[in-house]
Amino acid sequence: MDSAKTVFLFPGVGAQQPDMFAEFLVYPEYRERLQEVSELSQVNLQEVIHGERRDALKQVRVAQLALTATTVAIADILRKHCGLVPDFVMGHSLGQYPAMCAAGYLDLATLTQVVNLRSEIVEACARQFEQGEMCWVLHAPAATVAQEVEKARAEDGVNIYISAIDAFDQATVSGEMAEIRRFAPRMEAMGGLLYPLKIGGPFHSPLMAEARAQLERQLDFLPTAQPVEQLSRLVCNVSGAETPAANIKASILQHLTSPVQWLRSLQYVAQNGVTRYLEISPKSVLSYLTQRANLPMQSVCEPQDLFAFAQTMSAPQNRREQFLQRCCYHLYSAKLPVLDDPGALQQLRRIRTEVKETLADANHKQGEQAAFIHARTQQWLNIIEDAGAVSLAIDKRRLQHLYDAAERCA
């Protein structure tokens, strides 16, 4: 890892599996997050994921809670032990919720309340449909699938909707299975294939309007102010663009009745300079979709290698290198805003000189050197904020986490 922009990807339901992330049980943060979500939801996730109740993972609500707790925990471990805080976070379907937590928009207690409440309301709504379902439509251009869905609804009264655009040639439709079967011949005539996801409801479509109305009445507990500890930029998988904290409630509600725009979200982060991604998942799902998007983005590591990656990056030398690389990026590589203050420019030149001299001085102890460079880099960011009239709060928090990780006991 270096200063290249990175996005963390969080999966939706379907990625869960028994004993997922078992290697991470050695980390207290992992065990603590499982315990916290278990107590708040009254679901013993230790037993469900790593114990004797693994069949419960087939229940949508339990799977959502399990994925939320585990993926948030791993993002926490990567931040605290490795100093890794991504520039962007995004998730597919349910994955948007742990992404909110990893970005600092919601704490885990509030997030658990949202996920628990949402799953109960959504499942109750889904039971009103006769075999409500979601189906992948494969081997057909997603844009064509969207057009055919509109035509089928307008011409034949087929009550289905696009519920996800995952790749150029992969979309998802939602509706009752009888309606999806009516639509299938249109796609089959074009060489397309429909594959039921067996997820139990017509999610991410206007058919969930009742669930949206019920949830809206119960989300008053959500914070409305800008998060104090925002760490990353959150990309909403409905709009395919960055979501400010003030729009969290609207985003959660829209998420119920609108399609997941995964391809558009990937394109957004790529357009904003992201060149690397890390899928925090028990298995490779989103990495596959990302590769198919044909974007200039590379995987940091495969999901099955997450534990080894965390162990490697948490080694003292690697933590220190990550920290120093980020400092050097700010001091010598990052583009500066227009600064008209001669005094500020003089201060910045002095900081560069002092850091360069400190890095070249072999007599400095590592701890003292890191503390000095950290202080000077934070000073650098403060000067740019004041003189350039820009906000660098997220950059300063990320730098602090890198420093904290670098200074952790080996």
- Average pLDDT per run of 10 along the chain, which is 410 residues long? 83 94 97 97 96 90 96 97 95 96 95 96 94 95 97 97 96 97 96 93 97 96 79 95 90 96 98 97 94 94 96 94 93 90 94 93 83 96 94 93 84
- The Cα–Cα gap between 109 and 106 comes to 8
What are 7's two structure tokens? 């996005």
- The Cα–Cα gap between 377 and 386 comes to 14
What are 134's two structure tokens? 């979601």
- The Cα–Cα gap between 317 and 216 comes to 48
What are 84's two structure tokens? 């890794």
- The Cα–Cα gap between 372 and 376 comes to 6
pLDDT for res 178: 97
pLDDT for res 216: 96
Other Cβ atoms closer than 10 A to 145: 25
pLDDT for res 268: 98
For residue 126, what are the contacts with CB-CB under 8 A and spacing of at least 6?
132, 200, 201, 202, 203, 208, 211
Amino acid code (one letter) for 171? A
What are 171's two structure tokens? 């979309």
pLDDT for res 410: 46
pLDDT for res 218: 96
Rounded to two decimals, the pTM is 0.94
- The Cα–Cα gap between 347 and 330 comes to 15
